[in-house]
Amino acid sequence: MCEYCEYEGCGRKEHKGGEGYCIFHCDKRDFAEKEIKKFEKEFWGYFEERNLTEWSQESSPPGELDFRGFRFPTDFSFEGIEFKKAVDFRRAVFIGGACFKSAIFSSKVHFLGAGFEGRTTFENAEFKGKAEFAGTKFIEGSVSFKEANFEEANFTLSKFFNCTANCTETKFKGKANFGLAQFNGDVLFFKAEFNSKANFEGAKFIDCKADFRSARFCDSAKFVGDCFPSSASFYHSVFEQPKKVEFESMDLSNVSFLHCHGIENFRFVDENWNIKYGRNAVYDEIKLDKSKDKNYRLVEEVYRKLRLNYERNLRFSEAGDFYIGEMEMRRKNARVKNKIEYALIIFYNLASHYGESYLRPLYWMFGITFLFALGYAEFNSLNPFNFELGDIFRFLGYFGISMSVFFQMPPEYLPYTFAITLERLLGALFVALFVLALRRKFKKGGE
């Protein structure tokens, strides 16, 4: 008695030893050479017939090339094949690798819920219709979309378990949706091009590097949720419409924005950076501390762009942090290249934390006037280390004199011209620093 395949809607004859399934739907793990030959013969026969038949509009079946649930033998190859019709690979299984190198998909292709295990390649493949990889699983191995062209790609909820993904120079002409995709294995988007919207909302790159170096985003880009718990690099990547780029609810402490074009106009919402000495610091600075290659200029550029971004968005506290970062990078760069600039920057930091603190100049003012008062008092044979009550009042008198010198007022007679000149100079300097820092604070609030 002839049995039929149990796969829903299949109706082909059961394969001998296929445990209730036809040759297309049965498990291939125990296949002998002969059976693989048989599979190939039958498959390509079916493929040719379907691929070449011109269906009239009315009689056209929904999935013209219907490979739903097919289980392909190891290393099955579609290299250079042109799929002239819409292809349906929904829930298909590719065990031990598959090759779609330079394949052409003339119409829509469905890999919804399909599974790939081992080494899979779509290198140079051309997807002329929508490519549905929603919920597709790539397991243990690698998948390459190197130099592939997508008209529109949907990778929503796709999973890459222990599988590296190579999208080097991949072109996404229409929307590229990686929403809720999970990557676990390094991912390369090196020089990838997103000509339309790129969506990474809820995507996660777990225990792996997300490499967007030199990638180009021509339209909006959305990175929402904790996408990059391990590390990500946007080195030299270009965002042509940065105002449409969002990084939301995200930990950016592992993300490099070195030389990234457009970062000054990104929208950052609910994001976290590294904390270094109590200020927000970018990953590139933290990395610089540990690396031998010290390119402070590039990190300074990241800070400058971020500062501009945050100032524009009225987030002055973080903008101040990034300004400090910017100055720190300048200081470190000057340490190697320009000693005078280095000394000035150090002074600027100590005196007013690069103009970010109006309290520091105040402390300095107090310290300086106090020290000069001590000096004036000692020269008038008052022993500062053996005070009596009367001496305290006398010292307060000198302190008052020191204050008036400091604030450029005429002192009572003092013979020490040099000390007075010096204190006056310091007075002018620190009053200026104080006023500048104060102005900076209020100007920020008023803008």
Instruction: Give the footprint of Zn ion on this chain (CB under 5 A).
Output: 5, 7, 10, 12, 22, 25
18 or 97, CB closer to Zn ion? 18
Q: Is 104 in contact with 79 (CB distance < 8 Å)? A: no
Give CA separation, 127 vs 42, 50, 105, 151, in Å: 26, 19, 5, 6
> Minimum Å distance from CB 14 to Zn ion?
8
Q: Tell me how far, at minimum, the Cβ of 70 lies from Zn ion, in Å.
A: 8
Residue closer to Zn ion (CB basis): 5 or 112:
5
Q: d(Cα 96, Cα 85) in Å, to the nearest integer?
A: 26
Q: Which two tokens stand for residue 378?
A: 């000692």
Q: Which is nearer to Zn ion, 88 or 126 (CB)?
A: 88
Farthest-apart Cα atoms in the chain, separation:
125
Residue closer to Zn ion, measured from CB, 68 or 331: 68
* Residue 152 backbone phi and psi in degrees, to 5: -150, 135
The minimum distance between CB 77 and Zn ion, in angstroms, equals 22
Burial class of residue 411, CB neighbours in 10 A (0-12, 13-18, 19+): middle
Closer by beta carbon to Zn ion, 23 or else 134: 23
Closest CA to 248 of 224, 215, 214: 224
Rank residues 22 and 192 by Cβ distance to Zn ion and give the closer one. 22
Q: For the CB of residue 5, give the shortest distance to Zn ion in the complex, in Å.
A: 3
Q: Which is nearer to Zn ion, 66 or 123 (CB)?
A: 66
Complex with Zn ion: residue 23 or 143, whichever CB lies closer:
23
Q: Using CA of residue 421, residue 422, residue 428, residue 431, what is the dihedral sign?
A: negative
Min dist. Cβ of residue 86 to Zn ion (A): 20
How many Å apart are CA 137 and CA 152, to the nearest integer? 19
- Which is it for strands 187-188 and 159-166: parallel, antiparallel or unpaired? parallel
Cα–Cα distance measured from residue 194 to residue 224, given in angstroms and rounded to the nearest whole number = 17
Quick one: 10 or 258, whose CB is closer to Zn ion? 10
Sign of the dihedral defined by the CA atoms of residues 145, 200, 177, 75, in that order: positive
**CB of residue 28 to Zn ion, shortest distance in Å:** 13
Report the 3 state secondary structure along 198-257: EECCCCEECCCEEECCCCEECCCEEEECCCCCCEEECCCCEECCHHHEEEEEEECCCEEC
**Cβ proximity of 317 and 273 under 8 Å:** no
What angle is formed at CA 21 by the lines to CA 17 and CA 27, rounded to 5 degrees? 70
Compare residues 94 and 228 and give the one whose CB is closer to Zn ion: 94
What are the distances in angstroms from CA 265 to CA 60, 102, 240, 304, 310? Answer: 49, 38, 10, 12, 9
Q: Residues 120, 123, 124, CA angle at the centre, nearest 5°?
A: 155
Rounded Cα distance, 394 and 407, in Å: 20
Q: Which phi and psi angles does 209 have, rounded to 5°?
A: -90, 135
Alpha helices (runs of H) in 90-151, residue ranges in sequence order: none
Among residues 10 and 92, whose Cβ is nearest to Zn ion?
10
3-class DSSP assignment, residue 364: helix
Closest CA to 68 of 2, 131, 7, 156: 7
